[in-house]
Copies of this chain bind each other. A is one copy, B any other.
Amino acid sequence: MSAARHVPIRLGQVGGGVGAFIGDVHRIASRIDGDFTLVAGALSSTAAKAEESAAALGIAPDRTYSDWAEMAKAEAAREDGIEAVAICTPNHLHVPVAKAFLAEGIHVICDKPLAASLDEARELQAVADASDAAFVLTHNYSGYPLVREAKAMVARGDLGQLRVVQVEYPQDWMTDAVEKQGVKQAEWRSDPERAGLGGATGDIGTHAYHLARFVSGLRLERLAADLSAFVPGRVLDDNAHVMLRFEGGVKGMLWCSQIAPGHENGLRLRIFGDKGGIEWFQEEPNVLWHTTHGEPPRRLTRGGPGTNGGGTRIPPGHPEGYLEGFATIYADAARLIRARQAGEEPPEGLDLPDIRDGVEGVAFVAACVRSSGRDAAWVELDR
């Protein structure tokens, strides 16, 4: 997984200018394995913002667009045009943008939910099915190694015949009417024009639902839902209680909420069969609980004993996130190097381990060895 390929895929991006949460996420995700290189973008519909973002990202001016329709055509016409596009716009634009790029044979990586309405979604499906280009939807939680492990466990019958699926996704960031307080993320998410039919259901309920389907492998047949908009003035749901009936008599519940104080991003899945149960929680993604009925619960860790080790970049115990801590050292190193190159003072507040820390470390080891050699006598550190 970790070996980058020779030539990265040329990637364009629509929406998600610098500072947009999900735009950044797509960019970083595309870089981690070195599989993509970002070369074009229509990062905002406001020309000035689009240019500023593109410049900050090192996108050439002649591949900086403010109109995604134009971008699709122009890139398709270039020899070195983009091979794939990442769509990071508000929900209502997913379908038209995707159609424009698919029409040019450009592969699409699109954020969720797919569309603002079911008709539109089906329309896009017809287009995607007819196209040679790939269409990938970023239900990213299915990318966690232990989520895939869980799916494999269910598929090979570790839980026996499934009975109950419990999935929940509580958040608290919309507890207050933040959409009226200038929080952009909240504004479009609570606007039916841009978000579509569902509020919490569309934004996070679709993730929870996908996760339940992905791991269980089950098709949902019926549901009974109780949606609420608790915050005064809010139109779309901010809390949903749903009872589920899957094929084969499996039953479930789904709770998603954006008004549950104390919960940041609490996506949790539990599945029970007649032989065992599993539990996975997104805020501790390196752990998967598995109980075979009648045995003690086992705490599986990403890549650890009892797992197939698939999909991991680093050894067990280094949580996913380890790489990001490591990357912060590199990012700070880049700031330091650039300052040196510019003949400037190191940026203020930079707190990088340096040669002195290295000497300290060796002095520590040397002192440990010396003390231990003297029956654990106290020794001074020699620096």
Contact = CB atoms under 8 A, between A and B. Distances in A.
The 3 lowest CB-CB distance pairs between A and B, nearest first, are A264-B317, A320-B321, A114-B358
Contact of A320 (B113, B198, B324): B324
B289 A262 contact: yes
Nearest to A278: B262
A340 interface: yes
A77 interface: no
Contacts of A320: 319-322, 324-325
Contacts of A5: 56, 58, 334, 338
A156 to B, nearest CB: 14
B122 A359 contact: yes
A358 B261 contact: no
A80 B259 CA distance: 54
A179 interface: no
Nearest to A262: B291
A272 interface: yes
Given A201-B369, A354-B137, A376-B226, A33 B334 contact: yes
B381 A29 contact: no
A191 B295 CA distance: 27
Contact of A139 (B4, B357, B359, B368): B357
Nearest to A310: B349
A133 interface: yes
A330 B296 contact: no
Contact of A198 (B36, B84, B322, B369): B369
A73 interface: no
A83 B198 CA distance: 50
Count identical subunits in the complex: 4
A298 B291 CA distance: 10
A311 interface: yes
Contact of A259 (B164, B205, B301): B164
Most central of A132, A134, A263 by chain B CB within 10 Å = A134
A342 interface: no
B326 A323 contact: no
Interface in A88-145: 107, 109-110, 112-115, 117-118, 120-122, 124-125, 128-129, 132-145
A377 B107 CA distance: 40
B351 A142 contact: yes
Contacts of A315: 21, 264-265
Nearest to A364: B209
B360 A213 contact: yes
Interface string A234-273: 0001011111010001011101010111111110001011
A29 B328 CA distance: 8
A63 interface: no
Contacts of A381: 220-223
B329 A366 contact: no
Given A32-B330, A109-B330, A263-B277, A358 B121 contact: yes
A348 interface: no
A48 interface: no
